[in-house]
Chain A
Amino acid sequence: MTIASKLVRYAAAGALCLGMAAAVSQPAQAQDEKYKVFLSMSYIGNDWQAEAANMVKAMAAHKSMADKVDLQVQVAGPNAQRQIQQINAMVQAGADAIVVFPISPTALNSVVKNACAKGVIVIAYDAEITDECAYNVSIDQEEAGRVTAEWLVEKLDGKGDIVVLTGVPGTSVDTLRTKAAKEVFAKHPDINIVGEAVGMWSQAVTRTELSKILATREWDDIDGLWLQVGCYTANAMQLEAGKTPEELLPCAGEGANGGRVQMLPIGTEVEGAASPYAPLGAPRISYASPPYSGGLALKLAVDKLDGKDVPKKTVLPLPIVTSETIKLCQEGTWQEMKDGCNAFLPSIVVNPGWFASIFSEETPEIGLNAALVGQPEL
Chain B
Amino acid sequence: MSDTVAAKPLPRTSFLRGLRLSRHRGLLIAIAVFAALFLFADLISPGPISYFEVSYLSSGGATLAIAAVGETFVILSGGFDLSAGAVISLVNVVLASNYAMGDPDAGLFFWTLVGIGIGTITGAFNGFFVAFLRLQPIVVTLSTMFIVQGVTLLIMDKPGGFVAPSLGIYVGDAITEWLPMPIVLLGVVILFWLWLKGTRFGTAIYAVGSDPDAARSAGVRSSWVLFFVYVLAGGFYGLAGTFISGQTGSADPLIGNPMLLQIFAAVVVGGTVLGGGRGGPVGSIFGAYILMMVVNILLVLNVSAYYSTIAEGLILILAVLAASVSSDSTLARQLRDARSRISAWRGGRLPGQIGTAVHRLSLAAREAGAKSSSPLPAFRVRHAETLRYALPAYICFVVVIVVTQAVLGNAAFNWTYYNSLIVLSSFLAILALGQGTVILTGGLDLSVPWTIALCGILLAGMVKGSDAALIYALPIVLVVGCLIGIVNGLGIVFLGLSPIVMTLATNGILQGLALIYSGGTPDGFSSPMLRAFMTSKIFGITPVVFFIAAFVVFAVVLLGRTPFGRRVYGIGNGLRVAELSGIRTGRTLVLVYMLSGLCAALVGILLTGFSGQASLGMGDEYLLPSIAVVVVGGALITGGRGHYLGMLGGVLLLTGLQTLLAGTTLPYATRAILFGLVVLGAVIALRDRRS
Residues of A at the B interface (CB closer than 8 Å) are 1-3, 41, 43-47, 49-51, 53-54, 72-75, 77-82, 84-86, 88-90, 92-94, 104-110, 114, 130, 164, 166, 168-172, 174-176, 193-198, 200, 202-205, 207-209, 211-217, 233, 236-237, 240, 274, 276-277, 350-354, 372
Contact = CB atoms under 8 A, between A and B. Distances in A.
B540 to A, nearest CB: 12
Contacts of B665: 164, 193-196
A89 B250 CA distance: 22
Contacts of A45: 453, 511, 514-515, 615-617, 620
Contacts of A276: 612
Query: Which 8 pairs, one residue from A and one from B, show the smallest C-beta to C-beta distance?
Result: A45-B616, A50-B520, A215-B420, A212-B662, A175-B158, A106-B250, A75-B305, A170-B253
B626 to A, nearest CB: 15
A106 B248 contact: yes
Given A88-B56, A108-B248, A166-B668, A130 B160 contact: yes
Contact of A169 (B404, B524, B668): B668
Given A47-B521, A84-B60, A106 B424 contact: no
Given A88-B60, A172-B160, A352-B613, 5 more contacts: A45-B617, A81-B259, A93-B299, A107-B248, A215-B421
A204 B618 contact: yes
Q: Which of B306, B409, B662 has the most CB of A within 10 A?
A: B662
A106 B663 contact: no
A352 B614 CA distance: 11
B410 interface: yes
Contact of B612 (A80, A81, A93, A236): A236
A207 B611 contact: yes
Given A109-B249, A215-B421, A93 B520 contact: no
A44 B248 contact: no
B545 to A, nearest CB: 13
B515 A216 contact: no
Given A77-B258, A216-B414, A93 B45 contact: yes
Interface in B54-76: 56-57, 60-61, 63-64
Given A73-B305, A130-B160, A205 B250 contact: no
Interface in B646-665: 658-659, 662-665
B332 to A, nearest CB: 34
Contact of A79 (B258, B417, B524): B258
B374 interface: no
Contacts, number: 234
Interface in B549-607: 607
Q: Which of B251, B259, B620, B663 has the most CB of A within 10 A?
A: B663
A277 B659 CA distance: 28
A176 B511 CA distance: 31
Contact of B295 (A86, A108, A176): A86
Interface in B381-428: 404, 408-411, 414, 416-417, 420-421, 423-424
Interface string B530-548: 0000011000000000000
Contacts of A194: 665
A175 B157 contact: yes
Contact of B249 (A86, A110, A350): A110
For the complex, would chain B's binding face be called helix, strand, loop or mixed by DSSP majority? helix
B87 to A, nearest CB: 15
A215 B160 contact: no
A165 B565 CA distance: 42
B247 interface: yes
A110 B157 contact: no
A7 B523 CA distance: 46
B658 A82 contact: no
Nearest to A164: B665
A290 B207 CA distance: 57
Contact of B616 (A46, A80, A174): A46
Contacts of B64: 81
A77 B254 CA distance: 13
Contacts of A236: 612
Interface string B152-188: 1100011111000000100100000000000000000
A276 B52 CA distance: 56
B363 interface: no
Interface in B473-531: 511, 514-515, 519-525
Given A77-B258, A86-B299, A176-B158, A105 B610 contact: no
B244 interface: yes
A93 B249 contact: no
Contacts of A207: 610-612
A47 B523 CA distance: 10
Nearest to B658: A212
A198 B248 contact: no
A116 B663 CA distance: 48
Contacts of B328: none
B296 interface: yes
A193 B522 CA distance: 34
Contact of A46 (B160, B404, B617, B662): B617
B308 A75 contact: yes
Interface of B: 45-47, 52-53, 56-57, 60-61, 63-64, 152-153, 157-161, 168, 171, 244, 247-255, 258-259, 262, 292, 295-296, 299-300, 302, 304-306, 308-309, 404, 408-411, 414, 416-417, 420-421, 423-424, 453, 464-465, 511, 514-515, 519-525, 535-536, 607, 610-613, 615-618, 620-621, 658-659, 662-666, 668-669
A81 B304 CA distance: 20
A106 B159 contact: yes
Q: Which of A2, A90, A216 has the most CB of B within 10 A?
A: A216
Contacts of A203: 611, 613, 615
Nearest to B291: A82
Given A81-B244, A110-B247, A204-B618, A3 B522 contact: no
A259 B258 CA distance: 31
Given A108-B248, A170-B153, A170-B158, A74 B668 contact: no
A89 B663 contact: no
Contacts of A105: 159-160, 252
A132 B296 CA distance: 27
A327 to B, nearest CB: 24
Nearest to B49: A92
A79 B420 CA distance: 34
Contacts of B262: 79, 81-82
Nearest to B464: A350
Nearest to A82: B295
Q: Which of B64, B521, B536 has the most CB of A within 10 A?
A: B521
A233 B46 CA distance: 50
Nearest to B450: A45
Given A211-B420, A212-B659, A171 B45 contact: no
A73 B157 CA distance: 31
A92 B662 contact: no
Nearest to A104: B252
A217 B410 contact: yes
Contacts of A90: 299
Contact of A351 (B168, B300, B523): B523
Contacts of A205: 621
B523 to A, nearest CB: 4
B610 to A, nearest CB: 6
A78 B611 contact: no
Contacts of A168: 254
A46 B410 CA distance: 36
B420 A106 contact: no
Given A85-B296, A204-B618, A171 B258 contact: no
18 contacts: A45-B511, A45-B620, A47-B521, A81-B259, A85-B295, A104-B248, A109-B249, A164-B665, A169-B153, A175-B157, A196-B662, A207-B610, A207-B612, A209-B662, A215-B416, A217-B410, A350-B523, A351-B613
Nearest to A127: B159
A74 B159 contact: no
B159 A107 contact: yes
B259 A79 contact: yes
